[in-house]
Structure 1
Amino acid sequence: MQITVRVNGESYTRDVEPRLLLVHFLRDELGLTGTHWGCDTSNCGVCTVQVDGTPVKSCTTLAVMADGHDVTTVEGLEQGGELTPLQQGFINCHGLQCGFCTPGMLMTCSALLRDNRDPSEAEIREAISGNLCRCTGYENIVKSVRWAAEQTAEQQEVTA
């Protein structure tokens, strides 16, 4: 099947097998290896990307389902060569250790912050409940998201 997908702002047209998973399309066809591949059952969330702004597990989404849609991967988060406040928060607040879950966490949390600029700890924990981390205990991930929300609020105050 021929599909056309807009990934991180660039349009791609490819012939793919109907059974090809989106995670494999992104990694193998497009070379975007920031999207990790973990469990193949949508339990771990390391493969999370955004399709039309909604976080989805790319290990259980067929590439043909993304035909005609906008897909954002972790590579598409940076803005003009700069880290987003969320990415910087993960660095500053030690929101990652081994880094395997980080791309999926970033994609989930960036959608959360887009829709809720000041999420509570409970809202953050609920948002990331579909993303497993075996290293951090989630405490610093929550702190990273809160840090990013505070930075974004401060930036908006300065520009207002």
Structure 2
Amino acid sequence: MDKGTSSSALPTCAISLNINGTNRMLDIHPWVTLLDLLRGPIELTGTKKGCDHGQCGACTVLIDGERVNACLKLAVSIDGAAITTIEGLGTPQDMHPMQRAFVEHDAFQCGYCTAGQICSAVGLVAEGHAHSRAEIRELMSGNLCRCGAYTNVADAIEKVLDQEGVKPLREAAE
């Protein structure tokens, strides 16, 4: 880019997103990732930038209910989508069941990966594919925790699955 050219002179795209239940009309540059949009102009900083390459899962959010690494998704590619971040799941006074289970099971240590872990876990439960602890671990393998809270994360997810009435494979087979 020429030193005399400002970024405001570069082309932008108008998009509409529903972010945590609020409709937003946005005018953004076409190369802006969903992660940078959320953390920048939207000022939702619960979603973390970890590796910025889709390898750690710290930036996991829900797009139309599906788990997605926000660092890999260009915001212009999801025009019209509904985005749920950690801020949209619950509040300290009225936590989402998964947030409450993470607290009850001490499923975090430093907390950096927690927002992505929780969003991924909410998506995992909604998908309905996890029926055993091994499946939980496999389906959560895209979310890394440097502190090693994996056992407690699986415990928290199992609790929510039990609350949702999901029967583990070992029980369903009997």
The TM-score, its normalising length taken from structure 1, stands at 0.89
Post-superposition CA distance 1:102-142 (Å, at most 9, x none): 11111111011123286310121111111110112411110
Q: Which amino acid aligns with 1:82?
A: D
Alignment correspondent of 2:80: 68
Partner of 1:49: 61
Tell me the residue number matched to 2:123. Answer: 111
Unaligned runs of 5+ in 2: 1-12, 166-174
Match of 2:106 among 83, 86, 94: 94
Larger radius of gyration, structure 1 or 2?
A: 2
Matched residue type, 1:27: R
Q: Deviations over 1:10-34 (max 9, x none)?
A: 1111110000010010111111111
Work out whether 1:3 is the aligned partner of 2:15.
Answer: yes
- Identify which of structures 1 and 2 has the higher relative contact order when contacts are C-alpha pairs closer than 8 Å and 6+ apart: 1
Q: Deviations over 1:37-65 (max 9, x none)?
A: 11111000000111111111111111111
Distance in 1 between residues matched to 2:39 and 2:53, nearest whole Å: 17
Tell me which moved more, 34-43 or 118-127.
118-127
Q: Distance in 1 between matches of 2:132 and 2:162?
A: 12
Residue correspondences, number: 153
Q: Which residue of 1 aligns with 2:34?
A: 22
TM-score by length of 2: 0.82
Letter in 2 for 1:56: V
Q: Distance in 1 between matches of 2:94 and 2:20?
A: 15
**Residues 1:149 and 2:161 are matched in the alignment:** yes
Please give the alpha-carbon distance, in whole angstroms, between the structure 2 residues aligned to 1:118 and 1:134: 23
1:37 and 2:49 equivalent? yes
